[in-house]
C-alpha cells in the first residue's frame, strides 16, 4: 500500500530529528563517525517507524523481527533511532562514547534494549543474520508453526571487501533463506577513500545474483522507495534478497555530502552548530 503524503512527511521529520541527534551526540562525544550515520538516517527511520515488527516496551518479544547492524561504527544512527522510537530517553544519546555509558563507539548487545548483536569487526553481520534466519526456519520445521519473522542485516559497502561476507552469501544462497533481507549502504566511501579507488567492488549486483540472491537497487535516501523495495523483498519466497541502497555519504549536511574524509571524523562545536542549521534549513524548504 502506497504511503500517504502525511505519512511520508512524518517519516521525513523523524529522519531529520535523528540527524540532529546524531550531530549533537557526536559533538558532545568529540569522536565518532559522521558520514555513514547521516546517510543511513532515512533507512533506519523506515525500519523503526514503518517496516519492523517490534515493540520498544517489549524489546525481547519472541515474534519480533531481527535487525542486525554489521558495520557497528555507524552506531550513532542506531542509538538515535532507538531513542526516538522509545527504547530509551533521547537525552541519553549525549552520553555517546563517554566512560561508563551504555552507548559506546560500537554497540554491545547486553548494554541496551533493542540490540540483537555486538558489532564492530566488519564482515561478521551477514553470517550472524544468516545463522538467525536459518534457526528460525529450523524452529518452523520442528514446531510445524509458520512465523512471519524476518532477519534484516544492515552492512556497509566497504565490508564487501571482507571474505567472511561472501562465505555468508554462499550459505544463505545455498539454503534459500528467503526470510533474510540484507541492506547494503552503497555510499561509495570508506575510511581511506572512495571504495572504487581502494578496492573496486563492482559489479556488486551481478556478484550477489551469482550467489543465488534476489537483488534490488534503490535510492536509499528516498524513504517511500526504500519501503517499497523491502515490500518486494518480503514477497520473494525462494531466495534471500539484498537491497543495494545507493546513498549520499553525509546526507542532510550539503557541505560534507560525498566526502570520504567525514567517514570517521566528528564535527567540532562550531561545525556542529552549522550542520544543525543546514539540517533545519532542509526542513524549512520542505
pLDDT, tens digit (0-9, with 9 covering 90-100), for 225-277? 999 999 999 999 999 999 999 999 999 999 999 999 999 999 999 999 999 99
* The pLDDT of residue 142: 82
pTM score, whole prediction: 0.95
Q: Rounded to whole angstroms, how far apart are CA atoms 81 and 115?
A: 12
185 close to 40: Cβ distance less than 8 angstroms: yes
pLDDT band at residue 3 under the 50/70/90 scheme: very high
CA gap 85, 59 in Å, rounded = 12
**Which of 46, 36, 38 lies closest to 12, judged by CA?**
46
Give yes or no for residue 285 having a pLDDT over 60. Answer: no
Could you tell me what percent of the chain has a pLDDT over 70? 98
Grid cell in block for residue 125: 553481520
Per-residue pLDDT tens digits for 82-139? 999 999 999 999 999 999 999 999 999 999 999 999 998 899 999 999 999 999 999 8
Collapsing DSSP to helix, strand or coil, 76 comes out as helix
**pLDDT the model gives residue 95:** 97
Give the residue among 124, 266, 263 at the shortest CA–CA distance from 198. Answer: 263
Mean pLDDT of the region 150-172: 97
CA distances from 261 to 14, 133, 155, 186 (A): 26, 36, 19, 16
pLDDT reported for residue 140? 83
C-alpha cell at 129: 543474520
The pLDDT score that the predictor gives to residue 141 is 81
Question: What pLDDT, on a 0 to 100 scale, did the predictor assign at position 274?
Answer: 97
So what's the pLDDT on residue 283?
Answer: 55
The three cell numbers of residue 3 are 504511503
How far from the centroid of its chain's Cα atoms is residue 204's Cα?
A: 18
What's the average model confidence in pLDDT over 14-32?
Answer: 98
259: DSSP letter: -
Fold of the 5-285 domain? Rossmann fold (3.40.50)
Say how far apart CA 52 and CA 33 lie, in whole Å. 25
| pLDDT range class, residue 282, cuts 50, 70, 90 | low
What's the CA angle centered on 21, arms 16 and 23, to 5 degrees? 95
Q: What's the confidence (pLDDT) of residue 143?
A: 78
Instruction: Output the pLDDT for position 154.
Output: 98
For the chain, domain boundaries: 5-285
> Phi and psi (nearest 5°) for 13?
-70, -40
Amino acid at each position: 500500500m502506497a504511503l500517504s503524503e502525511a505519512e511520508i512527511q512524518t517519516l521525513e521529520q523523524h529522519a531529520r530529528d535523528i540527524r540532529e541527534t546524531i550531530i549533537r551526540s557526536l559533538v558532545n562525544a568529540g569522536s565518532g563517525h559522521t558520514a555513514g550515520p547521516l546517510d543511513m538516517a532515512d533507512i533506519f527511520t523506515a525500519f523503526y517507524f514503518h517496516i519492523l515488527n517490534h515493540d520498544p516496551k517489549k524489546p525481547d518479544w519472541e515474534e519480533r523481527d531481527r535487525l542486525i547492524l554489521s558495520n557497528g561504527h555507524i552506531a550513532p544512527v542506531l542509538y538515535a533511532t532507538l531513542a526516538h522510537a522509545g527504547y530509551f530517553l533521547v537525552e541519553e544519546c549525549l552520553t555517546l562514547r563517554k566512560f561508563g555509558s551504555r552507548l559506546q563507539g560500537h554497540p554491545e548487545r547486553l548494554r541496551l534494549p533493542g540490540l540483537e548483536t555486538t558489532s564492530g569487526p566488519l564482515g561478521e553481520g551477514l553470517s550472524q543474520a544468516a545463522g538467525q534466519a536459518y534457526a528460525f526456519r529450523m524452529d518452523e520445521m520442528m514446531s510445524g508453526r509458520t512465523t512471519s519473522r524476518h532477519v534484516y542485516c544492515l552492512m556497509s559497502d566497504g565490508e564487501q571487501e571482507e571474505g567472511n561476507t561472501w562465505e555468508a552469501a554462499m550459505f544463505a544462497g545455498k539454503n534459500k533463506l528467503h526470510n533474510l533481507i540484507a541492506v547494503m549502504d552503497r555510499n561509495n566511501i570508506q575510511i581511506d577513500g572512495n571504495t572504487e579507488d581502494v578496492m573496486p567492488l563492482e559489479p556488486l549486483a551481478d556478484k550477489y545474483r551469482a550467489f543465488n540472491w534476489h537483488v534490488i537497487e534503490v535510492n536509499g535516501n528516498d524513504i517511500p522507495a526504500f519501503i517499497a523495495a523491502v515490500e518486494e523483498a518480503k514477497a520473494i519466497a525462494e531466495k534471500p534478497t539484498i537491497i543495494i541502497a545507493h546513498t549520499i555519504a553525509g546526507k542532510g549536511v550539503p557541505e560534507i555530502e560525498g566526502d570520504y574524509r567525514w567517514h570517521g571524523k566528528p564535527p567540532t562545536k562550531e561545525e556542529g552548530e552549522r550542520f544543525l542549521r543546514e539540517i533545519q534549513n532542509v526542513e524549512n524548504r520542505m
